Structure 1
Amino acid sequence: MMRRFFLYALLSLFLANLWGCSNAPIQKPKISVRHAEISRISFKESTAMFTIRVDNPNSFPIYLNGVDYGMSLNGNLVAEGSYNSKTTIPAHKSKRLEMPIKIRLTEIFGLVPSFIRQGQVRYTLEGTVKTPILNLPFHQVGGLGVKE
């Protein structure tokens, strides 16, 4: 009799623990642009370097397959692309991704007065971080300065 009671008590504790774990919410990773600057300007093209930080708030790792992105300067779409490196973000950790974006000079020619007057232009960087299970959108607006 005591043995049966002990078995039921152990089974109840196991099921309660299992139920508690299954109700733990899966949190969406947080994605933010940490740094943006123009790193190179030539007569044909310009290179902007964006650093994106992906924070994993979950108790399990997240596997990234890449990033699709588009960039607008002062409201004009000037670049689109993909970053196709695979990486893993450990549980409760973050990782920074460096993404160079090449922009043709003809597409930013109209932005020269903004660079001269203000030393920067407004950027919008948006896209999708790809994982094996789902795609996570991101959107950030900021100022893009010229590196001296």
Structure 2
Amino acid sequence: MQRFTYLILALLAYLLAGCGTLLEKPQPPQLSLAGVTLLDGNLLEQHFLIKLRVQNPNTIDLPINGLRYKLEIAGQEFVMGQTNQAVTIRRLDSELVEVDAYVKLFDLLKQLKALGRNGKAPYRLSGEAFVGSTNWRLPFDRTGEFDLTPLERIRGLRLD
């Protein structure tokens, strides 16, 4: 009888270990900045469309049902926000997610003044993705650089 009890316990432990891998938390998505477009603006506020490239490093589909993000440019907060836009990123694939962002004119002017002097502006994109019906919070943090030379060519704009 005691052997039977040990066998049942061993079988239960094996099954629980197998179920644990099914419920394993996926790796966080990798987000990068794919574009920033000015949509509208007035004296007090500008409306931007920010395009985020969301990559899924997992071998399973990643159902994202929301994002909370913060974008810093040249070490200063440019915008922060959230979206409940749902998107499923197929396994080992990527998608573009577009989010609206609103920036006050005064903050935008401070950003332009702080931009890089070498034709480049560093950025940092951080936040968390909400995944699946369990709303797992998967953090992300990515740095990169903008190339400002196309901006400088528009009407001879100089940022230094």
Q: Per the alignment, in what secondary structure is the counterpart of residue 28 of structure 1?
A: coil
Question: 5+ residue gaps in structure 1?
Answer: 1-14
| 5+ long unaligned stretches in structure 2 | 1-10, 155-160
Question: Counterpart in 2 of 1:142?
Answer: 144
User: Pairwise CA RMSD of aligned residues?
Assistant: 3.3
State how far apart, in whole Å, the 2-side matches of 1:26 and 1:115 are.
38
Distance in 2, matches of 1:140 and 1:45, equals 24
- Counterpart-to-counterpart distance in 2, 1:121 and 1:100: 21
Map residues 1-148 of structure 1 onto 2, 5 A cutoff.
Answer: 22=18, 27-40=26-39, 42=41, 43=43, 44-45=45-46, 47=48, 49-58=50-59, 60-115=60-115, 117-131=117-131, 132-133=133-134, 134-144=136-146, 145=148
The TM-score with structure 1 as length reference comes to: 0.65
Between the aligned partners of 2:123 and 2:82, the Cα distance in structure 1 is: 18
Q: Distance in 2 between matches of 1:111 and 1:87?
A: 31
The alpha-carbon distance between structure 1 residues 41 and 115, as it changes in their structure 2 partners (threshold 3 A), is farther
- Structure 2 CA distance for aligned equivalents of residues 71 and 91 of structure 1: 26
CA contact (8 A) 2:47 2:102 kept: yes
Shift of 1:101: 2.2
Opposite residue 71 of structure 2, the aligned amino acid is: M
Identity rate, percent: 17
Q: CA deviation at 1:106?
A: 1.0
**CA distance in 2: counterparts of 1:126 and 1:99, whole angstroms:** 14
Report Cα offsets for 1:120-147 as digits up to 9, x if no partner: 5322211111013311111112223466
Shift of 1:50: 2.9
Cα distance between partner residues in 2 of 1:115 and 1:77 = 12
Does the Cα contact within 8 Å between 1:72 and 1:78 map onto a contact in 2?
Answer: yes
CA contact (8 A) 1:75 1:123 kept: yes
